[in-house]
Amino acid sequence: MVQIGFEVSRKLARKPEQFYIREYARPKYVSKAAPELGVKVAPLPDAIIDRCPADESLLAYILVAKFTDHLPLYRLVEILKRADVCISRQTLSKWVLTLGAALSPLYEAMRAEVLSSGTIFVDETPIRLQVKGKSRCQQAYMWVYVGGGGGDPPYRFFEFQINRNHEHPLKALNDYHGFLHTDKYGAYVKLAQFEDIT
């Protein structure tokens, strides 16, 4: 028989996650003529968290897992352990808080984009809040403000609050003048300076 070609079949497959060590080799210099100057080493590249043993790619993975995939940190610890990466929940928590502070200029820029647009969509969603020392979760709220002059997707900023009182959107939209799309929840009625579209 003579081969006349191939019958090709395809299947979607998956490789296990790969974690690796990124190494930075920085040359060290010393002056023979002036040894009192000491050893000089090129600086490390800028990092979002100084002296952090995690690369930005791992830090981004942690934020996406927590805030996009809604994985609690204890589950993320278990996932990392399966790949022989042992990081404590306390360390992950510290990194998340530090990253939140480091990313605040980006948050403020996105917030400014939303507030400078002529139309904002706003809604609040109930979420469960675990309070230390209490066996039951209490209800809290995540407020989302969407707008930003035609971004694709539009810009969004979120604000966490422990209740859905009217002062939260009033404070968030204090300097805003324009159209506000809401679901007619009573808290928005207090925002009289806006032209309300439902």
What would the pLDDT profile of 151-182 be if each residue is shown by its tens digit? 677 889 999 999 888 888 888 888 888 888 88
Give yes or no: residues 146 and 191 share one domain.
Answer: yes
Of all residues in the chain, what percent carry a pLDDT higher than 70?
92
Q: How far is CA 85 from CA 20, 81, 176, in A?
A: 10, 5, 47
Q: What amino acid is encoded at 20 in this protein?
A: Y
Q: Is the pTM of this model over 0.85?
A: no
Give yes or no: residues 128 and 153 share one domain.
Answer: yes
* Helix or strand run (H / E) with residue 173: none
Domain for residue 16, yes or no? no
What is the pLDDT of the chain when averaged over all its residues? 89
Give 11's pLDDT tier (boundaries 50, 70, 90).
Answer: very high
- Closest alpha carbon to 94 in 129, 51, 132: 51
Which has the minimum average pLDDT: 11-25, 87-101, 103-117, 139-153?
139-153
8 Å CB contact between 143 and 124: yes
76: containing domain: 50-102
pLDDT at 190: 62
Q: How far apart are CA 64 and CA 60, in angstroms?
A: 6
pLDDT at 196: 47
- 193 pLDDT higher than 60: no
Domain for residue 45, yes or no? no
40 Cβ contact partners less than 8 Å away, ≥ 6 residues apart: 28, 29, 30
8 Å CB contact between 196 and 180: yes
* Helix or strand run (H / E) with residue 16: none
Domain for residue 76, yes or no? yes
Structural domain total, the chain = 2
